[in-house]
A and B are shown apart, each in its own frame.
Chain A
Amino acid sequence: MDYIYSNSYTVITIFLLLGIILPLATVWGVGLILRPKNPAPEKLTTYESGLEPTGDAMVQFNVRYYIFALLFVVFDVETVFLYPWAVAFDELGLFSLIEMSIFIFMLVVGLVYAWKKKVLRWE
């Protein structure tokens, strides 16, 4: 009973070691013996779901995408909260209606902020 807490760390350590050893063993250990060896230049190209790879991997893209991603996360999280509320609407009653209204209002303030700061406009 006393050492359950420490024991759970022992289990974690075992998993960690296994996690390190197994991939190493398959790539450089057993795998080296079992796998057929047939090098070809095509095998060195980048895998792009069956398409012919074109261009450089180091592409610059616009920093504005980050802000869109951020706004997306806000609304994504909103859905996560709205959905269970909608499902259990009848049981939760008036209180959660008020609470969710406050929650949505706060998010709307955030949206208005983004809107007014011209985040939504692509120039």
Chain B
Amino acid sequence: MTVDLLTLNWGLLAPELTIVILSVIITLADLFMKNGGDRKAFAWLSVLGIALATYFTYQDLGQPVQSLLNDTYRVDSFGTMFKLIMLIGTGLVFMMSIYYVDKKEIKYDGEYYYLLLTALLGSMIMASSGDLITLYIGLELLSISSYILAGIRKTNLKSNEAAFKYVVTGSVSSAILLYGASFLYGVTGTTNIIGIAQAVQGAFNAGFDFYIYLGFFMFVVGLGYKISIVPAYMWAPDVYEGAPTPITAFLSVVSKAAGFAIVMRLLFTIFAAGNIATGEINAETGMPINFFSDEMTFYLAVLAGLTMIIGNTMAARQINVKRMFALSSVAQAGYILVPLAVVKINSPVVMNISFSNMIFYLMAYLMMNLGAFAVISLVTKANDTDELKAFAGLYHRNPWIGVAMTFFLLSLAGLPVTAGFIGKFNIFVNALLFESYYLAAIMVVTSVVSYFYYFNIVRQMYMRTGNTEAKLAVPFGLQLVVLLTFLGTVLFGMFPNVLIDFISTNFSVMDLFTPGM
């Protein structure tokens, strides 16, 4: 029984520990600094720390599955991929924040930086957790940090509203998630995700199917809140509108990636593919037996379809650009869900295709959405309004930013020469390949609807005249963000093979189901 804990490979935690140490240092430095002092150095320090953590995470690529403390904390290719997305996303959010945060609106700017770090830490724990308990701790760390961040503009009414709505909906959905988890724990007797996966088929056959269904639907509702898909997307417009713009970017990219990480890990390990791990095979077809996978993908397909339809049609009605992007990110979550909804769980190769498509789209989404939010934060702050009118005449005020924004919007709409196009095209082909014609059709039709509102911004930028023609100066941090995301969006659109090869060499879906060493 006694394991010498000192001999465990604690180096596996290097990326997380880097972030912990960084946030403690910044907390203490903030406390001992003068109240009026400038905290911008914290942001650059955080960017450096995140770069270091990214380096550590990069070292984990290509390793076999390793785990700590009875498989509660796993370092596998799946978690590592998501951690890379989260780290890069948060790094860019920090660069965006340097320009955005000022003392007038955000009095406690030191707290802004270290809460962002703890939110990142929570999402990293979520991506790597192999146990419902660790997973929930990560989820709460992310959620509580982002509740505060959403309301950090203390004197702003909208920001307060955002924080309040976020807390209430967030607590309700995490309660639902926990209730669902308790049913699965009840019928399988373990909180370990792979343990549940191995026991759930037996429990299903023993007549506990009702509780397993209940657990599944509660998981979908509780996790759907984090990725803002249909049953739980209502909070998104209000929260995205009220939160400071870089935090909105964080919620729409990093928090959503964390949500997708646990959706995939929980739903696919537990409900669909547990038998790949146990190796039970149907004697007639030679495929693993799955009691639930076809049903689950059907439910996910319904949700993905509804999410795409509702997100895109509602976004078309918005005149506030942050609300519009909130609903656009709801719609994007629908697209990202499609590869999961069409996947046929019969062979690792087939699953690998779907999951890789999804990871590719998430990476493209990281680039284009963060770039778009960088421009939004610049424009809305310069014009002091969140309405679409803020974009009027942007091309004449700063052509470079105008062109970059055009590419981000093209990419979000899924038009060629951008990473978004490649990602969406792959997902579309994926849906056709697995004969999910309805979903493919909904995807095409709603994409056409989305052109309407994305091009509304383009029209404002090129064809409307704003109040002023004055040059719009861009601060250094934002220049860097826009440049990096622009390069990412366009280069991965022109040479998608680089990214696809990277994913296919370093990601294997079987890692999800392999107990760690």
Contacts and interface: CB of A to CB of B under 8 A. Distances in A.
Q: Is the interface of B mostly helix, strand, loop or mixed?
A: helix
Interface string A97-118: 0000000001001001100100
A109 B6 contact: no
Contacts of B5: 95-96
A74 B31 CA distance: 20
Contacts of B206: 1-2
- Contact-size category for B: 10 to 19
A5 B189 CA distance: 12
Nearest to B2: A91
**Category for how many chain A residues contact B:** 10 to 19
B186 A5 contact: yes
Contact of A113 (B4, B31, B187, B211): B31
A94 interface: yes
A66 interface: no
A95 B24 contact: no
B286 interface: no
B207 interface: yes
A5 B207 CA distance: 10
B291 interface: no
Interface in A51-90: none
A3 interface: yes
Contacts of B211: 5
B208 interface: yes
A112 B5 CA distance: 30
Chief secondary structure at chain A's binding surface: helix
A113 B30 CA distance: 10
B69 to A, nearest CB: 12
B207 A3 contact: yes
A67 to B, nearest CB: 16
Given A2-B206, A5-B186, A95 B6 contact: yes
Contacts of B470: none
Nearest to A8: B186
Nearest to B207: A2
Contacts of A116: 31-32
Nearest to A110: B27
A109 B27 contact: yes
A4 to B, nearest CB: 10
A3 B24 CA distance: 51
A23 B151 CA distance: 46
A95 B4 contact: yes
A94 B6 contact: yes
Interface in B8-28: 24, 27-28
Contact of A112 (B31, B187, B207): B31
Contacts of A94: 6
Contacts of B207: 2-3
A8 B4 CA distance: 40
B27 A113 contact: yes
A5 B28 contact: no
Interface in A3-25: 3, 5
A113 to B, nearest CB: 6
B186 A109 contact: no
A113 B32 CA distance: 10
List of 3 A-B pairs having minimum Cβ-Cβ separation, nearest first = A2-B207, A116-B31, A95-B5
Given A96-B5, A109-B27, A116-B31, 18 more contacts: A1-B206, A2-B207, A3-B207, A5-B187, A5-B208, A5-B211, A94-B6, A95-B4, A95-B5, A95-B6, A106-B24, A109-B24, A109-B28, A112-B28, A112-B31, A113-B27, A113-B31, A116-B32
